[in-house]
Structure 1
Amino acid sequence: MSSSNVSVSSASAIPVQTAIPIVQLQPSVTHKVLMQQLPNIDSSSSPRRSERCCTFNVKEMILASSKGRAVYEDYLAREKTFLTVPERRTIVFVVVEAMVNEIGLYPTTQEKDLLAAAIIQAFPCLGIRDGNNLIHSHYYHAKSGGFIETLLKTMRKKQPECRKRKMSLKQKIHRRIPRGYIEDCGPELEEEEIQMHEFMVRLLKSLIPTASNAEQINDAMESTFPFRQYQMKKNLKTPSLILAEYPRMVDFNNGLLIFDDFMRKYPSANDIEQNFIHTYGDRLIFLAEKEMDALPVCNNDFLRLLLICIFIMPEIKKIRKNSVDEKVQQLVIFVSENRNLQEFVALRSTDQTNSTPHPYLVGVGTMTEPVYFNLVIDGNIIPCGSDSLTAFKNLFASYFVFQLHYPVLIKPLFKFFEERVFRLTPTMTATTADFVARLETIPR
């Protein structure tokens, strides 16, 4: 699956009330192209763009194919309207192939967007619900691609060299930008301003992390936030340096000062309980019961949902060279209650000297019966209490607060939370959209 982004903006949405079942569908989009039908042609032999009048009748496209017709008949026979992932892929292949046979391998942006909208209008269960709208931009979006664009790219690669468009010899420079990267921390501060902020930082360090000092600590963290961003851009380049300068992040309120800074950076971030537990919790369990021989044994409901994500997300499952245990350990590692945590973390840090370190959770107890959690960042141990939700919020936030990269093996899990749960960006990667679309087909 391509890693191209897929927008969830309202401009690509179909109101839910207008999306009607395919049985009754009299499409307002019919497919007319002013040219002869030619197989697998490129845009150089197509009519001029201005001569095209291109709308699509997805039902006709589907019924013209034996594979498409079989999917369509199964779809109609079901009491509840849903399509499996293989069926969705068949539909996309059939309609894109029909479009290519008429238009060529290089349709216009408008044509691809019209096809995406027509697919969702014909099969509303394939849309992603966003309030009262159904999003179709995971099938195509002008800037970020989608399923249609991914399939077109695959088809183009299979063409003889003489049929392909010539690519520019100039190669783009791709720079890996960490989460929460601070592009600009504002203008240079005057010496007087720096001294004022440094005084507040010293005051914050001197405050004992007790409930009686909670208001002062929270106020000081709030007031020093812009200066903290300034320091991170200038000289606090590692998590250890930041935590040494702001030790209350380590020892106060179960590490939630980290999540507070995340919310200051992203004040419009959505609520994790509403957007994950309530929206997808039952659906994840339903999907896991269908795909797994047995569900993970864990008495902690939120942690159990995270483990299910790791076990069933297609982009994580397809990584074959690493075991499931190795993938889970990029999220959480469990140790016995009598284990020396400092010794354990130091030993693990030594083992990771040749790899990029990333934050992770250390659970005390067992996966079945976790007692409490710690967040480990750059060798620093941050107690997070007994609530796995709090621990994960701090873990997720740490990537953005300390400007870090996701761990490779479970990157799709964090991307799902970034793009669909917290909704930090207006786009979803195609892999996230694919997983969301699967969940959305399951009735709540």
Structure 2
Amino acid sequence: MEDQTAPVVPAMIPQTLHIIPQFDIRQILTGSTEGKLILGSLDEDVIIPSQRKCLVRILVSHLMEKFGESPTSETKMALAAALIHGFPSLKDESDTSSGFGYWFTPGRNHRPATGFLEERLRNLRKRMRKPARSRSTQQTPPQSSEAGTRRTFIPECTISEERAIQCKEWLKHNLQPLNQVEQYMQDTAVYRAKSLREHGWDIQGIRQEFPHLFTPGMIAQDFQILHREAAPKLFETWLPLFKDKILHLARREGKLISSLDGLTPDCLGELALSQLPTLLPPTVYRVGRKVFRYTIEESKLAFIDHKPVSPSAYLKGNVILLIT
């Protein structure tokens, strides 16, 4: 009698597929003035220590912007490999295996990863995770931990603070040439965002510190740098997608009683924007054991800062509405 035993089929072992990204180092560096200067030095195979530190800042800022504060080892290795492939003068001659040991060496045998890129990432993570509430609780009403985790992430500045201050002072006293104004505004976008968050200036204070921010196109440029993935939606989605829904909700809730006939799409968009404070739940904060809730009027005043203007200023188009 023949053996009819079925053949043994080996069990399928699930495998993890790692997608290794591609990095264009030259394109990353051309995004800032400091990066362009470093690029010129790299093309001449000469780089000084201060430029190397700035190079690491730029690369790590790009890395965190694209992959978060904890990118995978494969991603960091791909960045380091692309760096020495594009600029062989940066190769670690003592590392005979990969050639980028100076820049990134993955951890092994219970030893942590090392290298310029890894050390920069580690320092930034420590800085971001430090409890900053002990300093802020004495100045502002306490907030819930949930509210604190929803703050928008600001990427790391690609230029040094000293250089950012120099550009800021130059922008305060110069209107020309326009291409240099635009470049300096682009280079200081991250520094400006952090300064605004830290100091909480009103409109007048912002105008004194960053007068070019109100030049047409500058706010959009800052948004493009700070929120690259969402930037295409800045002008594209508000009017066609959200305006009608907000106005319909405001009408249904009894917040909007005026007629909308004859209003242009832009006017309807501004009207929908002004209705948000009346529809969203007011913020609750605590001082000691007492709980306070902002009124609708307080929310509206905080949402859009209205500044009185003269008729001549109005005719010149100098009316400013700033969402705070």
Bin the TM-score by the shorter chain: 0.3 to 0.5
More strand by share: 1
TM-score (normalised: structure 2): 0.36
> Greater RCO between the two (CA within 8 Å, min separation 6)?
1
